[in-house]
């Protein structure tokens, strides 16, 4: 693996190294092998399988990159010993608004993912892995299928891999347009051919997951990191990052920035670095101030352009404890002061209403109600009291909405996520919204289409 | 308690504190149920105690010490020391929230909604809900009620997406024909285009729907809950005798709801039973007595009709004597009806030519003499063998109990039948036999069971499924195929009965067939499950007289009638034309009988030709007891007054006896039952007083089943909403507060002084002093395989079984069933179809030794090569023309028509 | 029979990939939709038979997923994102433009979709699930026309070019 290049508040490239270095062939078997693909897996095959998880991954402090940030090694350790079959399921359903890192990893470095899957499968003793790939990713599907085919031909998949006696098959399973299937138990339902409705937990997937068998669900980025942990060693990897947020993460930066895109940075740099550093976001194109930004994907509550918020470090636990927001899926959406926050809140509400699986009453009915009211507000038909109404409806889904960690009356966190926008308006833009609701007009012309229910 | 757990007390107990009170509950029981059984009702919509929890509606949220947030009580198993609050502010807030959100898209059309007045959503909103809704946006709109089957209408605007109906269809009925369609706020219940919700159990979804989204066509707008009154009863559409709450409005039956009897039906009903009540008020009911005057029926008074009937019987006695008199039927009525008719026929007329079956059941020797199992034994059986019957078609709710044992409780299910049955998808092994050759299959299975491989992989696999399991094998045996003689089944039963480890559920279909046989409406038997010769002395003592010798069964009676040796024939609610396998013999017999007395509620092909018609009260018009297929005596109740001047069967018998100078001195049903308890050995101590107190009825003989007796008829009334499992005793006006749960009344010797039942028992003892109580009949287990004619290569062996719906009186008198009637067609294996060489649906000529008819032919993979199926009860009973009741099997040739 | 022979063979392979046949419902539905342009009722019946479930169960599953079109839609499914990044960078205008422009074109089905994971180059859209980014209304229309003229071809969703 190419040794890591760093620069002051610039990128720290591990998992994005190959695709940056070989923009023309990083996804081909030739390009991958030429840049050291599968060396880590070869090395892993010489190591004690369990030790990889219990020692290397544990020492690396690697936490899930899918949103929940759960320590990977700990999750693996929940598997009941010697119960077979057991499954590894890769969460490649990337649907969190403004998150586009997994798509890049699948389209432009599928072999790194296959290698990560192989390492994980070897370590947890699984012989059948499924990649749940978002349905809309046609190119990603083609390249991943090709990568699996080529890896097989090279003897990195199939029977008795590299003479180690270890077998592994990977099946790519296509989603079909349902954000909720990113939630791991809904994903398993969908993989079983059911409607993608989250399951009641317990039992957790590690105990009874796919086909009620022990199952580990990990995110694409999480798995893509494994080869580097094997080559670097867990300790060394853990030297990167800050506190319990070790290593690097890809942040999907979008919205009002000069240089939107995916940036792999060491955890611990600040939001200001990410948004303004000339090597990263480069500030707002208009030069206007940042009004607010969404730090961890649409599910997270928002932060503002205040120094307090901009100077906060990219540390999962810090932002959670200090501001009640999350780094979630690593998507950062930036809005300058021309944006009507109510309009963004409405579009998010519309998204969650559209994606609610419908299982829980509060989410199914509440998200739709919130969307309708926010539509009125953001389209100039707000009524006095609307914001308080929204807030109390939010409370029915997520009691104590504003002060994280919030509780939920629902099965999965999508319900509460649908309230994040409302909570953020309530926290930071109360006056502006109240004014909109008292016959005032939205502060910018409405650009979005009319009507609800995309 | 509605008692879902089949073996309460078996579990380990843990302590649970709900709102300050600490109680002991079974470990792992769901919190919502544990709380409910100790009087704390946690509101809920999606949870149903007979189905797996899904935690969807979020109405049951509670606080649990040490648990973050508000977990749902319906998905949380109780752990030791759990401390729960169901009434705090945050719980209240959550409940208000959920209710407000449920109402966001729920129309406010309660005044025109069938559920209005008994609606869980309405009730819960009043009890737990917020003031009024703050939702001012546009509600979701759907086209108003759409039919999803012939019986069920769906109003999607009212649906609250609890998935009770879809889960019932999938989990319980095994008919996943309704589903959630679309997603999120657009989620609706739907069927697949062109595939209606054609399930025999669809009515249950209407009962468990917590709103008015699903409504039953027959009940729609018939009545408002507040002018309904209900009584608890047993459905007698089939021998399962499911418990139900029968409701009427202004003296008309309007609804039957399932009552959750843990012993019998778990709250479910089949649609035929649920909606069958419509026939009671049908305009074709015969409401007044009639006599035939020069060929025409004319109404007349009861005294006149009874005199004519008695006269006919007297002449018969004077002529050919007792042996010239015959009584067919008796399985339609109550135990009381059966007993008094048995006493009249055998004690007064002294004829033993009495048969409650029509050659379509099993010999009474076998049916009464097998080692009996209870329905609940299915749950703990080593394995369940279903032999020669399609339970889904004949006794649907028994099929549900078998299905549950197999799919929920992991009991191996071995299906042995000539063709695929409705249980095949759930069966561990499906074993086919050539009609008439079931004995060979059973012997091979037993051999495999005892370790000698049969060579047939399927049979060996079936036997292997029992390995490592203990307990008894429960055999559910029926008489599915009417085109083969019964001794084929008897021969198959013999080796099974000979084993020590088998017990039997005799799956005969007719409503009270078990009661009729138990009470002596069969040749060679006397009431109380005693053989004629064993009971002779006892009954001469009790009645003064009994028949001289064993008489004829249905086949013999119709034969004799055809040969002109039957002077008087009583049709006790039977239609030989429709039900006797041999169409031709039935016809000749009915024509040949010199004098025919019809005791029935409808004019049928058979009763049309009678000389006198005595109209009887129907189910719902009469109190009494009945006995289900496991031998459980349960109560049926009167809810509406009888149509016209119709009379209970037993009163007619008593009246006729009077005219033959015998006074039974019986004034009420209770008096009849008390006499039964006194004289009929199997019924010892099962008297009116005991029946009034026994919550789940009484399994005969009571002293062998005292452990299952619950003398307590009241349980906690939850809500009057019928969507909740209705506990036995909950709707019975006669229910008395729980007295004791002692089982003292169960000793036939009556050594317990302190219960009314045992007082009666003492009177039995009084009789005993003079004559010893006859022993209950036990089958000697002798059955030989009848010699079958070889089947030539071109012939197919006929299978003719019943489907649930037919064009019989009850169903055709019930409009709702119209479209569900089976079609007359010949179903054969595709391989045999090819040999005939005509396309699907083409008409072919079917020829047997007995007759010939033309039918459309259809391919059916469920029919093994070499066999052919004609549904028995298709319109006009086509199979009847092919069957010779004396033949062992029915072989048919099939030719294309040129 | 709705699957053509090639796809029927493929269908059996797909079912065989999974420990339980029901898992194959989604991939089989993709296969059918790639073949027919939409998910026909007959296709759902055939899928039900292939995985040994009732058609109702297949409908229940498929209707949950927005990619499955259960009514005929044009040859070209044009999916325009208007989620929160595209929202402020012109997505809604593109949607409006294409909706007007192809209002009466039976071949083009324009739909508003949620985030396509292309926000780095917003505003973006897909045509038959091929990504197109950095758009403006005119450019978007030009691209759709290229598909209509056959200049551009989509690879299809069910794996491998159709
Ligand atoms: C509504 C919802 C959507 C989610 N979407 C995704 C997703 O698109 N991709 C993903 O990897 N995880 C997603 N997650 C998180 C997964 O549930 C799960 O935590 C994760 O895949 C575990 O992998 P990790 O531990 O490697 O992060 C989602 C969670 C929720 C509640
Ligand atoms: S919270 Fe919403 S998305 Fe999550 S399970 Fe409940 S209804 Fe489905
Ligand atoms: S009853 Fe518990 S969630 Fe519905």
Q: What is the DSSP string of A377-429?
A: HHTT---TTHHHHHHHHHHHHSTTTTSSSPP-SSSSTHHHHHHHHHHHHHHH-
Please give the Cα distance from A368 to B184 (Å, whole number).
9
Residues facing A264 on adjacent strands: A250
Count CB atoms within 10 A of the CB of residue B103: 20
Please give the Cα distance from A242 to B695 (Å, whole number).
69
Q: Distances from the Cα of B340 to the Cαs of B334, B343, B596, B619, C35, in angstroms?
A: 10, 5, 19, 18, 72
Q: Are A131 and A144 in contact (CB under 8 A)?
A: yes
As separate numbers, helices (DSSP H) first and strands (DSSP E) second, chain B gives 26, 35
Determine what percent of chain B falls in helix, strand and coil, rounding each to the nearest 5. 30, 20, 50
Q: Which two tokens stand for residue B838?
A: 């005509």
Q: What is the pLDDT of residue B766?
A: 45
Q: In this complex, is the C-beta atom of A454 within 8 Å of any C-beta atom belonging to chain B?
A: no
CA dihedral B743, B744, B747, B751 (to 10 degrees): 170
Nearest to B269 by CA among B630, B802, B722, B709: B722
Ligand 2 closest atom vs CA A356: 3
Q: What is the pLDDT of residue B758?
A: 42
Write phi, then psi, for B532 (nearest 5 degrees).
-50, -50
pLDDT tens figures, A103-145: 999 999 999 999 999 999 999 999 999 999 999 999 999 999 9
Q: What is residue B100's three-state secondary structure?
A: helix
Q: In this complex, is the C-beta atom of B800 within 8 Å of any C-beta atom belonging to chain A?
A: no
Q: What is the pLDDT of residue B444?
A: 96
Q: Which ligand is nearest to the CA of A180?
A: 1
Q: In this complex, is the C-beta atom of A178 within 8 Å of any C-beta atom belonging to chain B?
A: yes
Residues facing B431 on adjacent strands: B416
Q: Chain C residue with minimal CA distance to B197? A: C56
CB contacts of C65 in chain A (<8 Å) are 135, 175-178, 196
Nearest to B774 by CA among B672, B698, B683, B671: B683
Q: Which two tokens stand for residue A6?
A: 């760093």
Does A452 score more than 50 pLDDT? Answer: no
CB contacts of B179 in chain C (<8 Å) are 56-57, 59-60
Ligand 2 closest atom vs CA A183: 4
CA of B124 to the centre of ligand 3 (A): 13
Q: Which two tokens stand for residue A185?
A: 């138990």
Q: What is the pLDDT of residue B268?
A: 98
**C115–A261 CB contact, under 8 Å:** no
For the four alpha carbons of C54, C56, C59 and C64, in that order, the dihedral sign comes to negative
Residues facing B866 on adjacent strands: none
Please give the Cα distance from A316 to A314 (Å, whole number).
6
User: Pairing state of beta strands A261-266 and A245-246?
Assistant: unpaired
| Residue of B171, B179, B189 to mutate, interface with C, max C Cβ within 10 Å | B179
Give CA angle at C67 (C63, C70), nearest 5°.
50
**C63–B177 CB contact, under 8 Å:** no
**B58–A361 CB contact, under 8 Å:** yes
Q: In this complex, is the C-beta atom of A373 within 8 Å of any C-beta atom belonging to chain B?
A: yes
Q: In this complex, is the C-beta atom of B488 within 8 Å of any C-beta atom belonging to chain A?
A: no
As separate numbers, helices (DSSP H) first and strands (DSSP E) second, chain A gives 21, 11
Write phi, then psi, for C75 (nearest 5 degrees).
-65, -30
Q: Which two tokens stand for residue A93?
A: 């359903």
Q: Do you know the residue count of chain C?
A: 162
CB contacts of B195 in chain C (<8 Å) are 54-56
User: Could you tell me which residues come within 8 angstroms of residue B509 by beta carbon, excluding any fewer than 6 positions away?
Assistant: B238, B239, B394, B395, B478, B802
Q: Which ligand is nearest to the CA of B56?
A: 3
Q: In this complex, is the C-beta atom of B191 within 8 Å of any C-beta atom belonging to chain C?
A: yes
Q: Which two tokens stand for residue B811?
A: 């169903």
> E strands, B156-286, where?
178-181, 188-191, 214-216, 229-234, 243-249, 252-258
Q: Which ligand is nearest to the CA of A298?
A: 1
Q: In this complex, is the C-beta atom of B425 within 8 Å of any C-beta atom belonging to chain C?
A: no
CA of A363 to the centre of ligand 1 (A): 18
**B57–A361 CB contact, under 8 Å:** yes
CB pairs under 8 A between A and C: 176
pLDDT averaged per 10 residues in sequence order, chain B, 898 residues: 42 93 95 94 95 97 94 96 95 93 88 83 81 81 88 94 97 97 96 93 96 88 78 96 94 94 96 91 94 95 98 96 97 97 98 97 96 97 98 97 97 97 96 94 95 90 95 97 94 94 96 97 98 96 95 97 97 95 96 98 94 97 97 96 96 98 95 96 93 90 82 48 71 47 39 42 47 91 77 89 74 54 89 92 94 94 94 86 92 90
Ligand 1 closest atom vs CA A72: 25
A324 lines ligand 2 (CB under 6 A): no
Mutate to test the pocket of ligand 3, among B71, B72, B724 (most ligand atoms within 8 A of CB): B72
Q: Distances from the Cα of B392 to the Cαs of B139, B173, B682, in angstroms?
A: 42, 10, 30
Q: In this complex, is the C-beta atom of B173 within 8 Å of any C-beta atom belonging to chain C?
A: no
Output the residue whose Cα is nearest ligand 1's atom 23: A218
Q: What is the pLDDT of residue B11?
A: 72
Output the residue whose Cα is nearest ligand 1's atom 8: A94
Q: Which ligand is nearest to the CA of A94?
A: 1
Q: What is the pLDDT of residue B7?
A: 44
Using CB distances shorter than 6 Å, the residues near ligand 3 are B 44-47, 55-60, 72, 74
CA dihedral C115, C119, C125, C127 (to 10 degrees): -90
CA of B162 to the centre of ligand 2 (A): 13
**B137–A395 CB contact, under 8 Å:** no
Kindly tell me the burial class for residue C5, based on how many C-beta atoms sit within 10 Å of its own C-beta (0-12, 13-18, 19 or more). Answer: exposed
Question: What is the C-alpha end-to-end distance of chain A, expressed in Å?
Answer: 45
Q: Which two tokens stand for residue B10?
A: 């078996």
**Which of residues 384 through 423 in chain A touch C, CB cutoff 8 A?**
none
A219 lines ligand 1 (CB under 6 A): yes
CA A118 to chain centre: 21
Q: In this complex, is the C-beta atom of B44 within 8 Å of any C-beta atom belonging to chain A?
A: no
In this complex, the chains that touch B, judged by 3 or more CB pairs closer than 8 A, are A, C
**Which of residues 341 through 380 in chain A touch C, CB cutoff 8 A?**
343-344, 347-348, 351, 354-355, 357
Q: Are B873 and B822 in contact (CB under 8 A)?
A: yes
Please give the Cα distance from C107 to C109 (Å, whole number).
7
For the four alpha carbons of A278, A281, A283 and A289, in that order, the dihedral sign comes to negative
Please give the Cα distance from A377 to A385 (Å, whole number).
11
What 8-state DSSP symbol labels residue B704? G
The continuous run of DSSP H or E covering B586 comes out as helix B583-592
Kindly tell me the burial class for residue B295, based on how many C-beta atoms sit within 10 Å of its own C-beta (0-12, 13-18, 19 or more). Answer: exposed
**B104–A373 CB contact, under 8 Å:** no
Please give the Cα distance from B349 to B368 (Å, whole number).
24
A367 lines ligand 2 (CB under 6 A): no
Please give the Cα distance from B872 to B220 (Å, whole number).
33
Q: What is the pLDDT of residue B199?
A: 92
CA B639 to chain centre: 20
Q: Which two tokens stand for residue A128?
A: 């059948």
Q: Which ligand is nearest to the CA of B73?
A: 3
Q: Are B19 and B87 in contact (CB under 8 A)?
A: yes
Q: What is residue C79's three-state secondary structure?
A: strand
Radius of gyration of chain C (CA): 17
Please give the Cα distance from C48 to C37 (Å, whole number).
19
CA of C120 to the centre of ligand 1 (A): 21
Output the residue whose Cα is nearest ligand 1's atom 5: A182
Q: What is the pLDDT of residue A258?
A: 97
Nearest CA of chain C to the CA of B151: how many Å? 19
Q: Which one is predicted more confidently, B822 or A193?
A: A193
Nearest to B357 by CA among B183, B208, B555: B555
pTM of the model as a whole: 0.93
Q: Are B225 and B380 in contact (CB under 8 A)?
A: no
CA of A171 to the centre of ligand 1 (A): 19
User: Could you tell me which residues come within 8 angstroms of residue B67 by beta carbon, excluding any fewer than 6 positions away?
Assistant: none
Q: In this complex, is the C-beta atom of B193 within 8 Å of any C-beta atom belonging to chain C?
A: yes
| Residue of A135, A136, A261, A342 to mutate, interface with C, max C Cβ within 10 Å | A136
Nearest to A328 by CA among A337, A336, A319: A319
For the four alpha carbons of B70, B76, B79 and B84, in that order, the dihedral sign comes to positive
Q: What is the pLDDT of residue B772?
A: 87
Q: Chain C residue with minimal CA distance to A262? A: C120
Please give the Cα distance from B459 to A84 (Å, whole number).
30
A414 lines ligand 1 (CB under 6 A): yes
Question: What is the C-alpha end-to-end distance of chain C, expressed in Å?
Answer: 19
Q: Chain A residue with minimal CA distance to B159? A: A361
**B187–A358 CB contact, under 8 Å:** yes
CB contacts of C66 in chain B (<8 Å) are 183
């Amino acid at each position: 693996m190419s040794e890591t290049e760093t620069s002051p508040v610039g990128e720290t490239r591990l998992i994005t190294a190959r695709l940056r270095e070989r923009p023309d062939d990083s996804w081909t078997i030739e390009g991958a092998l030429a840049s050291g693909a599968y060396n880590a897996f070869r090395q892993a095959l010489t190591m004690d399988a369990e030790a990889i998880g219990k020692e290397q991954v544990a020492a690396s402090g690697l936490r899930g990159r899918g949103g929940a940030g759960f320590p990977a090694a700990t999750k693996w350790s929940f598997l009941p010993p010697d119960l077979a079959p057991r499954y590894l399921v890769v969460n490649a359903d990337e649907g969190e608004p403004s998150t586009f890192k997994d798509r890049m990893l699948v389209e432009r470095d599928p072999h790194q993912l296959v290698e990560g899957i192989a390492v994980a499968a070897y370590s947890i003793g699984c012989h059948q892995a499924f990649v749940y790939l978002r349905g809309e990713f046609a190119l990603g599907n083609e390249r991943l299928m090709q990568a699996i085919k080529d890896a097989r031909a090279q003897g990195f998949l199939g029977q008795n891999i590299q003479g180690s006696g270890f077998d592994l098959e990977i099946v790519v399973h296509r989603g079909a347009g349902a954000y909720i299937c990113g939630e791991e138990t809904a994903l398993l339902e969908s993989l079983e051919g059911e409607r993608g409705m989250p399951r009641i937990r317990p039992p957790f997937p590690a105990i009874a997951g796919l086909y009620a068998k022990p199952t580990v669900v990990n995110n694409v980025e999480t798995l893509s990191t494994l080869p580097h942990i094997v080559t670097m060693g867990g300790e060394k990897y853990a030297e990167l990052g800050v506190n319990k947020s070790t290593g690097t993460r890809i942040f999907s930066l979008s919205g009002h920035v000069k240089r939107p895109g995916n940036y792999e940075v060491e955890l611990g740099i600040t939001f200001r670095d990410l948004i303004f550093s000339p090597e990263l976001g480069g500030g707002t194109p208009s030069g206007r101030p940042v009004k607010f930004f969404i730090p961890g994907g649409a599910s997270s509550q928002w932060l503002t352009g205040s120094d307090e918020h901009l100077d906060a470090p990219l540390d999962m636990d810090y932002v959670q404890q200090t501001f009640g927001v999350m780094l979630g899926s690593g998507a950062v959406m930036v809005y300058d002061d021309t944006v009507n926050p109510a309009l963004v809140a409405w579009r998010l509400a519309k998204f969650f209403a559209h994606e609610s699986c419908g299982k829980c009453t509060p989410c199914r009915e509440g998200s739709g109600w919130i969307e309708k009211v926010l539509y009125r507000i953001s389209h100039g038909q707000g009524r006095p009291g609307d914001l308080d109404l929204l807030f109390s409806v939010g409370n029915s889904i997520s009691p104590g909405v504003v002060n994280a960690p919030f509780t939920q009356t629902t099965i999965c966190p999508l319900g509460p996520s649908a309230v994040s926008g409302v909570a953020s308006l309530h926290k930071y833009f109360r006056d502006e919204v109240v004014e909109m609701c008292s016959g005032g007009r939205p502060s910018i012309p409405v650009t979005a289409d009319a009507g609800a229910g995309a | 308690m509605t008692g879902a757990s089949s073996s309460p007390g078996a579990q380990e107990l843990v302590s649970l504190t709900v709102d300050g009170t600490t109680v002991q509950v079974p470990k792992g029981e769901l919190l919502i149920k544990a709380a409910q059984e100790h009087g704390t009702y946690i509101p809920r919509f999606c949870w149903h105690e007979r189905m797996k929890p899904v935690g969807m509606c979020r109405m049951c949220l509670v606080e649990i010490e040490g648990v973050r947030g508000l977990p749902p009580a319906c998905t949380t198993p109780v752990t030791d020391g759990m401390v729960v609050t169901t009434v705090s502010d945050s719980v209240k807030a959550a409940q208000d929230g959920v209710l407000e959100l449920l109402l966001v898209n729920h129309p406010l059309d309660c005044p025109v909604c069938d559920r209005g007045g008994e609606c869980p959503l309405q009730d819960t909103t009043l009890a737990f809900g917020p003031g009024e809704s703050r939702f001012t946006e546009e509600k979701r709109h759907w086209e108003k009620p759409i039919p999803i089957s012939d019986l069920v209408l769906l109003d999607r605007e009212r649906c609250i997406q609890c998935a009770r109906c879809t889960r019932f269809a999938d989990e319980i009925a095994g008919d996943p024909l309704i589903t959630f369609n679309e997603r999120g706020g657009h989620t609706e219940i739907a069927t697949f285009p062109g595939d209606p919700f054609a399930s025999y159990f669809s009515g249950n979804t209407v009962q468990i729907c917590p709103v008015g989204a699903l409504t039953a066509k027959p009940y729609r707008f018939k009545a408002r809950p507040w002018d309904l009154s209900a009584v608890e009863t047993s459905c007698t559409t089939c021998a399962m005798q499911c418990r139900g709450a029968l409701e009427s409005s202004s003296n008309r039956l309007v609804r039957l709801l399932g009552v959750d009897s843990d012993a019998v039906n778990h709250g479910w009903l089949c649609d035929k039973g649920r909606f069958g009540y419509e026939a009671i008020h049908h305009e074709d009911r015969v409401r007044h007595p009639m006599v035939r005057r020069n060929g025409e029926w004319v109404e007349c008074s009861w005294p006149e009709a009874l005199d004519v009937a008695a006269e006919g019987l007297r002449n018969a006695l004077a002529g050919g004597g007792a042996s010239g008199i015959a009584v067919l039927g008796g399985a339609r009525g109550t135990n009381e009806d059966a007993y008094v008719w048995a006493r009249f026929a055998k004690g007064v007329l002294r004829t033993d030519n009495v048969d409650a079956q029509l050659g379509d059941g099993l010999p009474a020797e076998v049916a009464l003499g097998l080692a009996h199992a209870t329905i609940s034994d299915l749950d703990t059986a080593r394995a369940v063998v279903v032999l020669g019957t399609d339970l889904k078609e004949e006794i649907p709710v028994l099929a549900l109990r078998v299905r549950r044992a197999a799919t929920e409780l992991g009991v191996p299910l071995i299906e042995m039948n000539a063709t695929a049955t409705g249980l095949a998808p759930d069966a561990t092994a499906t074993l086919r036999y050539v009609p008439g050759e079931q004995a060979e299959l059973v012997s091979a299975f037993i051999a495999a069971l005892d370790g000698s491989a049969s060579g047939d992989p399927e049979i060996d696999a079936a036997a292997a499924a029992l390995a490592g399991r203990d307990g008894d094998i429960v055999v559910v045996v029926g008489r599915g195929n009417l085109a083969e003689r019964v001794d084929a089944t008897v021969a198959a039963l013999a080796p099974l009965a000979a084993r020590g480890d088998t017990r039997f559920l005799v799956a005969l279909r007719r409503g009270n067939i078990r009661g009729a046989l138990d009470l002596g409406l069969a040749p060679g038997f006397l009431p109380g499950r005693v053989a004629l010769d064993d009971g002779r002395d006892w009954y001469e003592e009790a009645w003064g007289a009994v028949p001289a010798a064993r008489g004829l069964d249905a086949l013999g009676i119709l034969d004799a009638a055809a040969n002109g040796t039957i002077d008087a024939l009583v049709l006790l609610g039977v239609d030989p034309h429709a039900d006797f396998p041999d169409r031709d013999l039935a016809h000749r017999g009915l024509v040949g009988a010199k004098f025919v007395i019809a005791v029935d509620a409808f004019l049928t092909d058979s009763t049309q030709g009678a000389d006198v018609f005595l109209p009887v009260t129907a189910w719902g018009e009469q109190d009494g007891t009945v006995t289900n297929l496991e031998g459980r005596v349960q109560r049926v109740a009167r809810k509406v007054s009888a149509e016209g001047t119709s009379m209970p069967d037993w009163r007619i018998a008593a009246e006729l006896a009077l005219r033959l100078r015998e006074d039974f001195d019986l004034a009420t049903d209770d008096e009849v039952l008390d006499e039964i308890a006194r004289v009929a050995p199997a019924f010892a101590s099962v008297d009116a007083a005991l029946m009034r107190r026994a919550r789940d009825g009484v399994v005969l003989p009571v002293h062998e089943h005292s452990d299952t007796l619950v003398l307590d008829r009241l349980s906690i009334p939850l809500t009057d909403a019928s969507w909740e499992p209705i506990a036995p005793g909950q709707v019975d006006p006669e229910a008395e507060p729980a007295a004791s749960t002692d089982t003292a009344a169960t000793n036939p010797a009556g050594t317990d002084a302190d219960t009314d039942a045992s007082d009666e028992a003492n009177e039995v003892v009084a009789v005993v002093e003079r004559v010893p109580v006859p022993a209950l009949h036990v089958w000697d287990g002798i059955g030989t395989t009848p010699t079958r004619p070889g089947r030539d290569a071109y012939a197919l062996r006929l299978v003719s079984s019943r489907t649930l719906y037919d064009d019989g009186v009850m169903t055709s008198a019930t409009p709702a069933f119209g479209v569900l009637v089976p079609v007359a067609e010949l179903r054969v294996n595709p391989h045999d179809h090819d040999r005939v060489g005509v396309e699907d649906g083409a008409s072919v000529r079917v020829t047997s030794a007995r007759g010939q008819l033309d039918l459309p032919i259809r391919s059916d993979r469920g029919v093994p090569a070499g066999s052919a199926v004609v549904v028995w009860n298709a319109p006009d009973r086509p199979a009847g023309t092919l069957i010779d009741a004396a033949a062992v099997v029915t072989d048919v040739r099939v030719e294309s028509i040129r | 029979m709705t699957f053509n022979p090639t796809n029927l063979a493929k269908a059996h392979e797909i079912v065989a990939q999974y420990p339980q046949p029901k898992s194959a419902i989604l991939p089989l539905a993709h296969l059918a939709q790639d073949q027919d342009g939409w998910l026909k009722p007959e296709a759902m019946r055939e899928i039900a038979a292939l995985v040994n479930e009732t058609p109702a169960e297949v409908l229940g599953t498929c209707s949950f997923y927005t990619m499955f079109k259960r009514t005929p839609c044009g040859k070209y499914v044009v999916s325009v994102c208007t989620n929160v990044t595209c929202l402020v960078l012109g997505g809604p205008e593109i949607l409006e433009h294409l909706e007007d422009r192809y209002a009466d074109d039976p071949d083009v089905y324009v739909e508003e979709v949620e985030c396509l994971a292309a926000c780095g180059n917003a505003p973006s859209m897909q045509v038959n699930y091929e990504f197109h980014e950095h758009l403006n209304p005119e450019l978007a229309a030009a691209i759709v026309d290229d598909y209509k003229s056959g200049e551009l071809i989509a690879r299809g969703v069910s794996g491998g070019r159709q």
